[in-house]
Structure formats: C-alpha cells, structure tokens
A and B are shown apart, each in its own frame.
Chain A
Amino acid sequence: MAQIETGGDSGKGKSHQKKMSIHVDFTPMVDMNMLLITFFMLCTTMIKSQTLQISLPTNEKVEKEQQNKVKQSEAITVILDSDVNAEGVPTKNYLYYYEGMPPVTEEGQIDLALNPMKTEEFLPNEANGAAQGMRKIFQDRNKEVVNRINELKAKWKNKELASTEAANDSVYQARAKEIRNDSTLKRPVVIIKATPNASYESLVTALDEMQINSISRYQIDRISHNDSVMMMAVKGIPYGQEPAEE
C-alpha cells in the first residue's frame, strides 16, 4: 500500500528498468490521528440527557363548579422534605403522606388523630426483590393497574401480542395506556408537594415513581398552611420512635 512501484522511466531500452520502492513512514500520521481521536473523545457527549415531561395546572382562577373534585378515597398527598446542612445542601430526604382530606376539625384546628400523617425516610425503592419506601406506598394503592400492566408486560416480552416486533410494541403501548386510564379500576390521585428545603432529586424521584407505578393522575401542588401545621406536629416526634409503615 505504501509502496509505489515506479515503472520504466523514460529510458530508451527495456533493459534498464530500475525498480524502486518508496516506503512512506506512517508513524507520525498515526500519532497525529491518535491525538485528534483523543481530542474528539474528550470533547463529545455520547450520552444524551433524558427528559421528564410535566405539566402544571394553570394559574387562572377556575369557577367552583368547573373544578374537578377528587374522590377522597382516591386522593393521597405526598409531601417531600429534606434535612439541610449549614450550606443549605440537602442531606437526607423524607416523605410525609396522608390520604384523603387534611384532618381539619370544625374549629379549623388540625387534629392528627382524625387522619394520621405518616412519615418515612427515603429508602432505596427495592430490597430483596420487594418494593419498599415510596414505591411500596404507590404500588399498594395502584395494585389493580400495576397487576394488569405486569400481565400485559409478560405477554409483550413473549411477543404474544402481535406477529411482528413493531406491532407488538405498539399494541403494548396502546393497551398499557388503556389500562392506566381505565376508570373502572381503583386508581389513586397523587398530589405531590414539596417544602422549600426538599431536594430537586426527591421531586424527580417522586415524579419518576408515577411512571414506574403507572399512575396516570398526579399533580404538583403548592404546600398549604394545613400541610405545614401537620408536618410540624409530626416532626415533634423524633423520627424512628414511631415505626413507619414497613
């Protein structure tokens, strides 16, 4: 490849054919290429970021009659909170949650005895194959949907839904969406709130759990006065004394 045979030069006779081979040393070329490769490798991003799409409700005032009331039995409010260190960096994440309405008595006081608020530390979402922490909370409440989705997923993995791979995928997507929005099943409505100290990571984790547990109805909301009062009441008790839901 690097040899070029120079055939008969302008000589008159055939007799004086000089065979000359030219060797080009490619080592510097390789050196230079390697440097360029290194440069490109260091300057590129191979992994593209993912996004999590969310939509917030509008700010506009909605007429009372037009508001969608959530069934009390389906609602669960999750409040995210974190401990922060002296520099304001979150160190440990906590989760508070209650079902239904906040326990407000007729006098407008908060009475936790009416509707206990539970608290939990952020745990890794799975241990020994069983869900725990936030995932367990949501999975338990969305059991009917999760079970159906799992059945469907098993079929999808065995490619039983359709003959071709692409059709299999699209049938799976369509059916999964149907199940998630099936109003005959018991589905929770999750209201996610976060305190000013809560870490961004915990918010994304909570939103992520919605996807993992196939919860179709969730919303990010502002923390209310009642929520803060309840949290203060709960915080009066040191964590750990009252064993959170196992």
Chain B
Amino acid sequence: MGKVKIKRKSTLIDMTAMSDVTVLLLTFFMLTSTFLQKEPITVITPSSVSEIKVPTANLVTVLVAPKGNVFISLAGDKDSTFSSENMRAELIKNVVAEYNRVYNKNVSLTTAEVNTFAKTNMFGVSLAELKGWLDLSQEQRDAYIDPAKNPEKAGIPIDMNQDLSKPNEFQIWMRAIYNSSNPNIEGAIKRGEGIAIKADKSTTYDKIQVVMDNLQTMKMNKFSLMTALKSEDE
C-alpha cells in the first residue's frame, strides 16, 4: 500500500503576459480619452438623428440649467497661441474692461485671479462678484456656481435687453469672445459651428428662448443645439 505521492506544484503564474495586455489597454485609453469637463450641473440632452459631431476646438458652449441659470465654457484652438487657457486669459481682461466702460465700474483683477480664471472650464457668475469668486478656493468656487446650492447667484445675468449700446453681461461675454484675437472662433460662429446650446430635455422653452433671443440680438443667428445620438432607426 504505497502512499499516494502528492506532487507539489508551484502556484506561481507568470503575470508578464497579463501585464503586457494591461499596458496596451492603458495606452489605448490614454490616447483616445478626452476628459469629462466639469460642469456646474449635469444635464441630459435630448436625442436627435443628426450625425454632426460637436467640434472640439473653437467652440462656445452655453449651458442652460433647468432653472434658467446660464453658464459659458470656451474651448480655444488646437494651436498653442490660441489655446483655451490663453483665450480665457485674454477674454477676462476684455470683458472686465468692457464692463467697467459700460457700467462705470472699477473692477481690476490681479494676475493670480486671471490665471485662476484661465484654468476654469465653465464659468457663470456676475461680473460684480467675479473678483471675489476667483479668490475662493476650488471647492468654494464650484459650490458657488452650483445651481442646486446657490440658485440665486449662480449663472451669468441675462435679460431680454435689445439695446447693444448697453449690453447685458451675457452679451458682453459673447461679444468679447466673438471679437477675440483668434480669427478662427469668429469664423466658426459665422458658420454656425461656434456656438452650441446645451440644456436638459425637461427645461422649458422660455429659458432657452432668452438665450436664443440674446444671440439673435447680437446677430449670431446660426448656432447649434447639443443632442445625443438617437438609437432608434429612422
């Protein structure tokens, strides 16, 4: 009666192949990814059969929150002179200058504040409070423009103003973007590719109409609406 000999087998598995695969996957994700941009509020866009993709460069996104707060995000050119950061830095200076001129105010920003603004993807705060907002910490800034936490103050002030000699703040922003030193964004806006309105599908039309009317007043008659792809076959 011989004892059954238990063969000792090493449980070591060679992980090299596995490591190869994961590195490949990692490379793929790193190269193909575009990061989710932080937005003050998450919206679910309605769906359409349109197959025109949202451009990645030279785009102004106007986000309309369900309660009507308006936010703007600006994407610059791929070219480094007019990168998003440079364009935002230029934009904020022009906007503040225009605001001071139109409303006889005396707002001035420090270099640090301009740099903070250049790094912010989406903004929506009145120009009177802009300086104070830029001095807050990242978290406080996010909370300040969150329509759920601060419904009164979040968003760029907008009204039905039609007199362009005394533009409202939304009009100041949009005009400054249009007149920026980057010629490509002006071209994109003229072609109708430069402005995209993004809103939740349950937003009521009056909130959207305010934005559309303002754009119309500024003669930016062509723009696009952001939608998601409809799965249904036509």
Kindly identify, within residues 165 to 194 of chain B, every residue whose CB is under 8 Å from any CB belonging to chain A.
Answer: 192-193
B111 interface hit (Cβ, 8 Å):
no
Cα distance A200–B197 in the bound complex, in angstroms:
11
Q: A1-B16, A23-B12, A200-B200 are in contact. Are A51 and B46 (CB under 8 A)?
A: no
Contact between chains at A203 and B208 (CB < 8 Å): yes
Interface residues on B, range: 35 or more
- Which of these binds chain A: B70-78, B96-104, B144-152, B221-229? B221-229
Cα distance A49–B54 in the bound complex, in angstroms:
6
- Which of these binds chain A: B21-29, B80-88, B115-123, B124-132? B21-29
In the complex, which of the residues B25, B45, B203, B225 has the most CB atoms of chain A within 10 Å of its own CB atom?
A: B225
Closest to B15 in A: A26
Contact between chains at A26 and B18 (CB < 8 Å): yes
Minimum CB–CB distance from A9 to chain B (whole Å) comes to 25
Minimum CB–CB distance from A147 to chain B (whole Å) comes to 15
Number of interface residues of A (CB under 8 A): 53
In the complex, which of the residues A40, A49, A200 has the most CB atoms of chain B within 10 Å of its own CB atom?
A: A200
Cα distance A84–B16 in the bound complex, in angstroms:
60
Contact of A27 among B15, B35, B54, B224 (CB under 8 A): B15
Q: A40-B26, A50-B53, A212-B49 are in contact. Are A201 and B224 (CB under 8 A)?
A: no
Cα distance A41–B36 in the bound complex, in angstroms:
11
Cα distance A53–B221 in the bound complex, in angstroms:
11
Minimum CB–CB distance from B227 to chain A (whole Å) comes to 5
Cα distance A168–B196 in the bound complex, in angstroms:
32
Hey, which chain B residues are within 8 Å of A45, CB to CB?
33-36
Contact between chains at B16 and A197 (CB < 8 Å): no
Main secondary structure on chain A at its contact with chain B? mixed
**Per-residue A-contact encoding for B24-51, CB less than 8 Å = 1, 0 else:** 0110011011111000000001111111
Minimum CB–CB distance from A69 to chain B (whole Å) comes to 21
Contact between chains at A40 and B30 (CB < 8 Å): yes
**Per-residue B-contact encoding for A21-34, CB less than 8 Å = 1, 0 else:** 00101110110011
Contact between chains at A30 and B15 (CB < 8 Å): yes
Minimum CB–CB distance from B56 to chain A (whole Å) comes to 8
A43 interface hit (Cβ, 8 Å):
yes
Cα distance A134–B17 in the bound complex, in angstroms:
56
B residues lining the A interface (CB < 8 Å) = 12, 14-19, 22-23, 25-26, 29-30, 32-36, 45-54, 66, 162, 192-193, 196, 198-206, 208-209, 212, 215-217, 219, 221-230, 234
A-B contact pairs, 20 of them (CB 8 A): A26-B14, A26-B18, A29-B19, A33-B22, A37-B25, A37-B29, A44-B35, A48-B53, A56-B216, A56-B221, A57-B221, A89-B66, A89-B202, A90-B202, A194-B205, A196-B209, A198-B204, A201-B46, A201-B201, A211-B49
A residues lining the B interface (CB < 8 Å) = 1-2, 23, 25-27, 29-30, 33-34, 36-37, 40-41, 43-59, 80, 82, 84, 88-90, 194-201, 203-205, 207-208, 211-212, 220
If A33-B25, A55-B223, A199-B201 are given as contacts, then 17 extra A-B residue pairs at C-beta distance below 8 Å, sorted by A number, are A1-B17, A2-B14, A50-B50, A50-B226, A52-B48, A54-B222, A80-B205, A82-B204, A89-B66, A200-B199, A200-B200, A200-B201, A200-B204, A201-B46, A204-B225, A205-B48, A208-B227
